[in-house]
Amino acid sequence: MEQAMIDRLMIREVIENWALWRDAGDWERFATVWHPDGRMMATWFQGSGSEFIEVTKAGWAKGVSILHFLGGTSVNVSGTRAVAQTKMTISQRGEVEGTLCDVVCTGRFYDFFEKVGDRWQMLLRQPIYEKDRLDPVRPDARPALDDALLAEFPAGYRHLAYLQTRIGYQVKRDMPTLTGPAVEALYERGRRFLQGGAL
């Protein structure tokens, strides 16, 4: 098998391990997906891979429930660098205005990778948030949302941000969505990275 195909399969395995090990709380193996300089960008957290593990553990201890599901992946490899995009959903359950709700956000993981020795490791994970929805767990429940607060957040992750704000997180309000300057800047960053530019 040609090396480029092997590299793409190895990167896909890292992406799948990220979701499985993170959502299962397999922290020791989850730590191995990250590059030593790896960083995680999320609505509720921005920092190093190791810090992400610690804040996720703390969230679990408080009952925070965030799960991930993956779809197709496209990987561009250039030497020891790669950029991957993976269709995904983020599913979070929590109290919204006194009602237990699920928020499902559809988007993509936009990941920067570097090959260290014979292993691909994640340098940066930047989700792109495309659309979301909020559903009460009980179908007869109807939480009364604060329309003014809801309108403060970008449409791609509006309900996710609302839930996360209500349970006490500070949410980043300029994350990339399906279209617009933030996602175009991310694409350009990926192109420069593959050409050898700084991350």
163 and 134 Cβ atoms separated by less than 8 Å = yes
On the CB side of 64, CA atoms within 13 Å amount to: 20
User: Which residues have C-beta within 8 Å of that of residue 172, sequence separation ≥ 6?
Assistant: 41, 42, 43, 44, 46
Residue 80 in 3-state DSSP?
Answer: coil
Q: Classify the C-alpha dihedral 102-106-110-116 as positive or negative.
A: positive
Going from the N-terminus, what domains does the chain have, and what CATH number goes with each? 3-172 (3.10.450.50)
Check residue 163 and give its pLDDT.
97
User: What pTM was computed for the model?
Assistant: 0.95
| Closest by CA position to 12, among listed 56, 76, 59 | 76
β-strands 65-78, 46-48 pairing: unpaired
183: phi then psi, degrees, rounded to nearest 5: -75, -35
Beta-bridged to residue 96, according to DSSP, are: 99
Residue by residue, pLDDT tens for the chain (199 residues) are: 699 999 999 999 999 999 999 999 999 999 999 999 999 999 999 999 999 999 999 999 999 999 999 999 999 999 999 999 999 999 999 999 999 999 999 999 999 999 999 999 999 999 999 999 999 999 999 999 999 999 999 999 999 999 999 999 999 999 999 999 999 999 999 999 999 999 9
* DSSP 8-class letter at 137: S
At 1 the pLDDT is: 62
pLDDT of residue 115: 98
Report yes or no: 83 and 193 within 8 Å, Cβ to Cβ: yes
Return the amino acid letter for 61.
A
Name the helix (H) or strand (E) containing 86.
strand 81-96
Q: CA–CA separation, 7 vs 77, rounded Å?
A: 8
